[in-house]
Amino acid sequence: MSTELPAKEQHKMNYVPGTASLIDDIDKKHLVLLRDGRTLIGYLRSIDQFANLVFHQTVERIHVGKKFGDIPRGIFIVRGENVVLLGEIDVDKPCDTVLQQVSIEEILEEQRLQQQAKQETEKVKMQVLKDRGLSVPKADNLDEY
Amino acid sequence: MFRFQSLDEDCTLEEEEEGLIEEEEEIDQFNDDTFGAGAIDDDWQEEHKRLAELDKRDGLGAEGGGGMGRDLDFGGAEESSSTLLTPSTGRPPLPSSLPSLNFAPSSRLPPLDSEDRGGGGDLVESLARFILDADPAIAGVGTTERPVPSLSSSGSSISSLQGLEPSRVLSRHSSMPQPTHLQHPPRPSQHQLPPGPSSSGLSSAAASPSMLSYQQQQHMLHRGSVPISQMNSHNIWDNSMGFGPVSMSPGLATHMEDSPLMSIIKEVGLPKLPPHGRNDEERDLSERVPPPRSSSPVIGSPPVRAVPIGTPPKQPISHSLNHQSHHPTAVHVRAPLQHRYPPPFPERLSPNTLLNIANSPLGRSPFPPGVGPVLSQIKRAQLLNSQVAGFPRGGPAPPMLPGGGGFRPFFGGPPPPHGHRMGPMPPHGPPNHTPPIRHNTTHLHPQHRRMLTQRMQSRGGDRGRTGGDRRSRDPYSNLMTQKEKEWVTKIQMMQLQSTDPYLDDYYYQNYYEKMEKRQEKERDSSSRKEHTTKLITPQVAKVEHTYRPVQFAGSLGKLTVSSVNNPRKMIDAVVTTRSDDEEKREKQVWNKRRQILYTVEKMYSLLLEVQDFEKRFVQTPEEDREALLEQHKQNTEQLCNSMREKEWEDRVSDEQCVMIMSVRKGKRLVARLLPLLPSAQAAAIVMAIARNLPALTKKDKQDQVLCWLVEPVSAVIQSLSSSALTDLLQELQGSEGQLATVLQNKFGVTLLYLILSEGEKMQSSDPNCQLMDDNRWTELVFSVTRELLSVSSSSLSAPLFTPANLLSLFSRYVDRQRLELLQNKLQITALSR
């Protein structure tokens, strides 16, 4: 059996091989997706047993269509239960994406427009359903994004 | 001494009656002193008398017992002092007002100081009083016969206060009321005072009045001075030690000599005032620990920890020794664990010192090892980073001290960094990621460990270098200390504890076993030694679950405590059978099915135990092995018996077999069971299967689980004798049309082929085999071939596999033409599987 794993995985089994641990992710740049739909990018500084995360030099990245905008946020402490997924960002890897970075104002504006459009379609849909005597309960309590 | 006492006694006699009267009127329902703890001790009576006495005497409103909470209020002090000034004559000023100055937090001291220097007779007076009161002995002494503090004296006292010898100050004040008497006792005592508290001025005087005071007081007492007790003092110590002018009870008399309380105070000291002067950042977090929890009476519940497990490790502090004193030793009932977690508090060597030692060849750190610990997180991180950047990157990181400082269960190598000091952490290659920390990985599979070390060594250099470079430029890295990382990992490891690793962590264990086996095949024998090391996961001894409720002697009944480990039974469910006829019949059907299921379950658990026996056998210690073996035998017997008929112990019960096989789980059970049974019984079961195949196939239409039986059945068949084989074939064709049904079923066809193939094997291998002795075999084969040919191709189901030698078999018995037909039909080729 080959003992050679790809380089990236090798340094992961630092403390407790065979388990998943965030210890090896410390001080690295990460991207985290939260349950409320936000995307944060920052340096992971500290963790605890609940996977509460401390992010440093955090930036909230908003994506609308092909554009995105970064809002600097400083230090974030994320409660572990609100994390959907977390992944390391390889700073060395060349970044060739089709996404286009825009200013904060622009992206916020875009987001607002997107939300507006969404709401309008939702409204129309509800109206149509209502006309037919059907109703879809509003999923207020669900995590949606 | 006696002089004062007599004085007091006189007063007592006068006032006692009034005091008593007051007592009765003042029965307070909610007051501890009436009914609670205070009522039990004798002291409260004296205390009350004293209180009453002093109240009466002062003529001012008694301020109750709340002296402690009072802040030193200059206005108030001034007022009180001014009020005190007014009553003249030898009446001692109201000690109850004194508490306003009493034990003021040291935060008050600086203003006191400044104020004092500013002068002002009243302030000085209040200051003086404060000092006096802070020292109950002196206060008591002072108040017994203190004349109205004169302004003149206060004027002179300013300079003296500035003079700063606390003992001098104290003696000064004590000298005020009793110039002759007390001046001498304090003086010699002052030499005996510890140098520390008497260092600097007023602030220290007030800051450590307690220390001073009790020592002073002791001397006082020995001299027989009679300080007035602190009436409203927060300290019961004070009261018991102070001698009220009220009483000279025999209880108090003992206080004159070496009282036990005194000795206690000597040992324990007073409750400390919050030392505001000292650095706050060094405050021991464990001071904030909640009071020790009483232990849960349930055996096996998690131990009560001084600091809960979830508490992150403390930052290093200077007075680490204090930790020990702050740990309440939680008493808990607990089954002995095989693994004990060392307390999260200091180890003997700090990792910083260790690293210093280890890395000294690399270069001298700019800080001496004795550097104080008061570095903040960021500073420390920065320090680390600067060190990282500074040192050359050469080769693999320096070796860590092997096993230095003692092993923790999971983390060997350098003990977890609980720093006594926060000296610089010299780098060892990259700060975080591939340090050559040799953890105690004995609990891991040796394979794991090997991979780990290999990787560390090979990759530690180059990978770390690139990553480390980047990280070294990051001034905020290493905010999370090594200790904290290990703490988190420790918690994760704790979650891996188990009493039965094969139960809890089945896949991990089995995976590594398989890997090991594979490795063994590949590697040569030279490295075989490595493989023999056993896999150890943190195992906790199985805890007893019996809980007997706590019972107090003389109480009625038992204390029922319901906890997570010992849930209380809430409902007593009783089974009642209904005797309704209709329902009975329906129920019977259900019951039968349930019975079958129940039987299957029971057999399964037995089976699992039998199958796991080997693994457990290896793991149990020597003493228990006998018992385990015994149990194993019993289990196997039980299993065998379960398939047997009730009346005849020998024969396998058809009915039972069929019943069990009617359930999907039962079929799987039989499949797993067959290899374990003795051959005779296994053969019998296979016979039973063959006999009842139509019924079974009918029931299996939905599940199609019968095919699971192929493997074990084929194993059995191969072990059959020729006569048995013949019998089996006969069984298969037993009743009319059975064969046809058999052929329609995949399993049936496969079974048939197996039998035939086995027969052929027997014939071809051993020409003298008994198969041909009687004609049965031949006849049976003939009938089979007939059936095969007659049955339509569509109804013939494809077998799981076709044995290769069928062709040769058929060639013996049928002519060429038929052979060809058969061949086509069954698609048997010479090369078929």
Q: Hey, of B440, B442, B492, B517, which one would you mutate to test binding to chain A, going by the most A CBs within 10 A of its CB?
A: B492
Reduced to 3 states, what is the DSSP secondary structure of residue B72? Answer: coil
Whether B480 sits inside 8 A of A26 (CB atoms) is yes
Rounded to a whole number of angstroms, the distance from the CA of A60 to the nearest CA of chain B is 20
Complex ipTM value: 0.79
Of A18, A43, A54, nearest to B508 by CB-CB distance is: A18
- Residue B115: the pLDDT is 44
- Residue B158: the pLDDT is 46
B198, amino acid identity: S
Portion of chain B with pLDDT greater than 70, in percent: 37
Count of alpha carbons within 13 angstroms of residue A33, beta-carbon side: 8
**Residue A20: closest C-alpha in chain B:** B492
Q: Say if B356 is an interface residue toward chain A (CB within 8 Å).
A: no
Q: With residue A39 as reference, give the H or E element that holds it.
A: strand A39-47
pLDDT higher than threshold 90 for residue A82: yes
> Tokens 């298969």 identify what position?
B732
Q: Say if A74 is an interface residue toward chain B (CB within 8 Å).
A: no
B686, amino acid identity: V
CA distance B463 to A9: 12
pLDDT higher than threshold 60 for residue B787: yes
- Residue B676: the pLDDT is 81
Q: Which DSSP letter does residue B644 get? A: B
Rounded to a whole number of angstroms, the distance from the CA of A7 to the nearest CA of chain B is 8
**Residue B313: closest C-alpha in chain A:** A48
Kindly give the pairing relationship between strand A100-101 and strand A39-47.
Answer: unpaired
Whether A48 sits inside 8 A of B434 (CB atoms) is no
Strand order in the sheet with A100-101: A83-88, A29-34, A39-47, A53-64, A67-78, A100-101
Rounded to a whole number of angstroms, the distance from the CA of A48 to the nearest CA of chain B is 6
Q: With bands split at pLDDT 50, 70 and 90, how would you rate the model's confidence at B278? A: very low
Portion of chain B with pLDDT greater than 90, in percent: 0
Q: What is the mean pLDDT of chain B?
A: 61
Rounded to a whole number of angstroms, the distance from the CA of B403 to the nearest CA of chain A is 16
CA distance B728 to B756: 10
- For B79-90, what is the mean pLDDT? 45
Q: Per mean pLDDT, which range of A65-69, B335-339, B355-359 is the poorest?
A: B335-339
Over residues B42-67, the pLDDT tens digits come to 667 777 888 887 766 655 544 444 44
- For B551-571, what is the mean pLDDT? 71
Handedness of CA B439, B445, B450, B455 (dihedral sign): negative
CA distance B334 to B295: 10
CA distance B54 to B245: 9
CA distance B182 to B178: 6
Instruction: Take residue B826 and report the two structure tokens written for it.
Output: 């069954």
Structural contact between residues B730 and B776, judged by C-beta atoms closer than 8 angstroms: yes
- For B296-313, what is the mean pLDDT? 59
Q: Say if B408 is an interface residue toward chain A (CB within 8 Å).
A: no
Which range is most confident: B160-169, B449-458, B751-760?
B751-760
- Residue A144: the pLDDT is 56
pTM: 0.40
Higher pLDDT, A99 or B151: A99
Which range is most confident: B364-378, B422-436, B734-748?
B734-748
- Residue B304: the pLDDT is 61
pLDDT higher than threshold 50 for residue B444: yes
Domain boundaries, chain A: 19-102
- Residue B92: the pLDDT is 45
- Residue B129: the pLDDT is 67
Kindly give the pairing relationship between strand A53-64 and strand A67-78.
Answer: antiparallel
- For B676-697, what is the mean pLDDT? 82
Q: With residue A29 as reference, give the H or E element that holds it.
A: strand A29-34
> Tokens 């904060």 identify what position?
A104
A chain contacts of residue B459, beta-carbon cutoff 8 Å = 7, 10-11
Handedness of CA B597, B603, B606, B608 (dihedral sign): negative
Q: Say if B428 is an interface residue toward chain A (CB within 8 Å).
A: no
- Residue B229: the pLDDT is 43
- Residue B166: the pLDDT is 45
CA distance B384 to B428: 10
Q: Say if B481 is an interface residue toward chain A (CB within 8 Å).
A: no
CA distance B398 to B412: 17
Q: Which one of 3.30.1370.100, 3.30.565.10, 2.30.30.100, 3.40.50.1100 gives the CATH number of domain A19-102?
A: 2.30.30.100
- For B348-361, what is the mean pLDDT? 49
Higher pLDDT, B585 or B357: B585
pLDDT higher than threshold 60 for residue B749: yes
Of A1, A21, A45, nearest to B489 by CB-CB distance is: A21
CA distance B527 to B329: 49
Rg (CA), chain A: 20
pLDDT higher than threshold 70 for residue B135: no
**Residue B477: closest C-alpha in chain A:** A27
CA distance B22 to B10: 19
pLDDT higher than threshold 60 for residue B711: yes
Chain centre to alpha carbon of residue B655: 53
Q: Which DSSP letter does residue B561 get? A: -
Q: With bands split at pLDDT 50, 70 and 90, how would you rate the model's confidence at B532? A: very low
> Tokens 């090594």 identify what position?
B482
CA distance B755 to B761: 10
3-state secondary structure B494-530: HCCCECCHHHHCHHHHHHHHHHHHHHHHHCCHHHHHH
- For A65-77, what is the mean pLDDT? 93
Higher pLDDT, B258 or B818: B818
Q: Give residues with Cβ within 8 angstroms of A144, minimum separation 6.
A: A37
Buried (b) or exposed (e) across B66-82, using 16+ Cβ within 10 A?
ebeebebebeebbebbe
- Residue B491: the pLDDT is 87
- Residue B180: the pLDDT is 45
Of B459, B477, B515, nearest to A11 by CB-CB distance is: B459
Portion of chain A with pLDDT greater than 90, in percent: 61
> For chain B, what percentages of helix, strand and coil (3-state, to nearest 5) are there?
55, 0, 45
Q: Say if B378 is an interface residue toward chain A (CB within 8 Å).
A: no
- Residue B742: the pLDDT is 78
- For B213-230, what is the mean pLDDT? 48
User: A26: exposed, middle or buried (C-beta count within 10 Å: 0-12, 13-18, 19+)?
Assistant: buried
B482, amino acid identity: Q
CA distance B688 to B711: 17
CA distance B730 to B2: 122
- Torsions phi, psi for A47 (to 5 deg): -135, 175
Give the CA distances from residue A75 to residues A12, A47, A51, B476, B485, in Å, rounded to whole numbers and listed in that order: 25, 14, 16, 12, 20
CA distance B723 to B725: 5
Q: Say if B782 is an interface residue toward chain A (CB within 8 Å).
A: no
- Residue B578: the pLDDT is 63
CA distance B439 to B336: 25
Over residues B640-658, the pLDDT tens digits come to 777 765 555 666 677 788 8
Which range is most confident: A46-50, B579-583, B753-757?
A46-50
Q: Per mean pLDDT, which range of A10-24, A42-56, A88-102, B426-440 is the poorest?
A: B426-440
Q: Say if B463 is an interface residue toward chain A (CB within 8 Å).
A: yes
